[in-house]
Amino acid sequence: MGGAEQKYVQEAFDTNWVAPLGPNVNGFEQDLQLYLNEKRYVGALASGTSALHLSLILLGVNTRDEVICQSKTFSASANPIIYQGATPIFVDSECDTWNICPDLLETAIKDRIAKGKKPKAIIAVHLYGMPYKVNEIHNISKSYNIPIIEDSAESLGSTYQGQKCGTFGDISILSFNGNKIITTSGGGAIVTRTQSDKDKAVFLATQARDNAPHYEHSHIGFNYRMSNIVAGIGRGQMQVLDKHVKKRRSNYEFYKQSLNDINEISFLDEPIGSYSNRWLTCILLENKSQREDVRLTLEKENIESRPLWKPMHLQPVFADFPSYMNGVSKGLFDKGLCLPSGSNLSKTDLIRVTTTIKKYFKVC
């Protein structure tokens, strides 16, 4: 927390705006629109997951549809496809950004069309804050006329060719869950290109109440709106977003410089034109057993680290769905480790991590 959060929350109490609407909700949405710096409309919601769910509904996804989803992601990217009764089609990653591979994406689209069904949407993810190959992916989306849902849950503060992540999708989503670059304890947002899409999302998020003096419903609604208390935290967090990005990037630089001499460890560089918020610093080891050794060595020192996200096509719950694979996401899962990356890590904390790793590799 930065400090200003409590002031906004206190305001909500003082004015008795304790509801899923109010001045903080409007203020937080405006702050985000201003920050994103494009003509976009932001709707504050209960979570990034609910934003993804509403995105699918806005794009008309239902039971007979297929939706392409980056396999290397967190499960929340894919779950809403199932909420809609649709079928996820998983696509593997490329090595430059670890995100959805343009070549395989096109292969998948062609094959699904040949099998009789054009995918209804593509969910692309800027994983760990690293922008996916926006130009390539969006060109494919345009040429096949399939809209993109941009999962920017991990990448608020990242940019691609100077434009903020969270503004590229036909619809985009953000997350303010407890572990993200800024947090409202739990929360998310949908980012749309039209006012009417935002209005539809907010309508569905507030139980789809038609305009009538009584409770009248002609759609199935959801309880997905952000509360005014939570939005107060968000307004305060917006004041420290840039600071958090700077800190996360300096965490990455510190790790990279300190571990530079260890040949077994590699990092993901930013491709030209990409600027990552470095939400998490991830390293690749030489193989799975070495990765596990390093993880357990850190654990012995009471330092938490975690293997890179296990791809969706390898998750028991998704294993039976179609997938288009090249082995990249599986390799990253085997060899990759997320290091402690918090915005409040001290220099002493960071040194403790790197010293433990250096000791393991017998480097001083």
Ligand X SMILES: *Cc1c(COP(=O)(O)O)cnc(C)c1O
Residue numbers at the binding site for ligand X (CB under 6 A): 47-49, 73-74, 76-77, 125, 151, 153-154, 175, 177, 188
- Write b or e for each residue in 99-123: b if 16 or more Cβ atoms lie within 10 A of its Cβ, otherwise e: bbbbebbbebbeebeeeeeebbbbb
What residues pair up with 41 in beta bridges, in sequence order? Answer: 192
Residue 35 in tokens: 């920050």
Closest CB to ligand X among residues 29, 151: 151
What is the smallest separation between the CB atom of 360 and ligand X, expressed in angstroms?
28
Among residues 279, 252, 42, the alpha carbon closest in space to that of 181 is found at 279
What is the smallest separation between the CB atom of 177 and ligand X, expressed in angstroms?
3
Closest CB to ligand X among residues 230, 353: 230
What is the smallest separation between the CB atom of 112 and ligand X, expressed in angstroms?
23
Give the single-character DSSP code of 74: -
The amino acid that residue 105 corresponds to is L
Closest CB to ligand X among residues 181, 265: 181
* Distance (Å, whole) CA 41 – CA 192: 5
Closest CB to ligand X among residues 41, 224: 224
Closest CB to ligand X among residues 186, 322: 186
The residue of the chain with the least Cβ separation from ligand X equals 48
Query: Residue 351 half-sphere exposure, CB side, CA atoms within 13 Å?
Result: 4
What is the smallest separation between the CB atom of 294 and ligand X, expressed in angstroms?
23
Closest CB to ligand X among residues 87, 175: 175
Closest CB to ligand X among residues 182, 350: 182
Closest CB to ligand X among residues 149, 265: 149
Among residues 267, 311, 276, the alpha carbon closest in space to that of 72 is found at 311
- Write b or e for each residue in 313-343: b if 16 or more Cβ atoms lie within 10 A of its Cβ, otherwise e: bbeeebeebbbbbbebbbbbbbbbbbbbbeb
Q: What is the DSSP string of 161-183?
A: TTEETTSSSSEEEEE--TTSSS-
What is the smallest separation between the CB atom of 19 and ligand X, expressed in angstroms?
20
Beta carbons within 8 Å of 128's beta carbon, 6+ residues apart: 98, 154, 268, 276, 278, 279, 280, 282, 338
Closest CB to ligand X among residues 190, 265: 190
What is the smallest separation between the CB atom of 152 and ligand X, expressed in angstroms?
8
* Distance (Å, whole) CA 170 – CA 55: 9
* Distance (Å, whole) CA 364 – CA 258: 10
What is the smallest separation between the CB atom of 52 and ligand X, expressed in angstroms?
6
* Distance (Å, whole) CA 239 – CA 218: 40
Start-to-end Cα distance in the chain: 35
Residue 20 in tokens: 């899923």
What is the smallest separation between the CB atom of 100 and ligand X, expressed in angstroms?
12
Give the single-character DSSP code of 128: G
* Distance (Å, whole) CA 270 – CA 214: 55
What is the smallest separation between the CB atom of 336 and ligand X, expressed in angstroms?
15
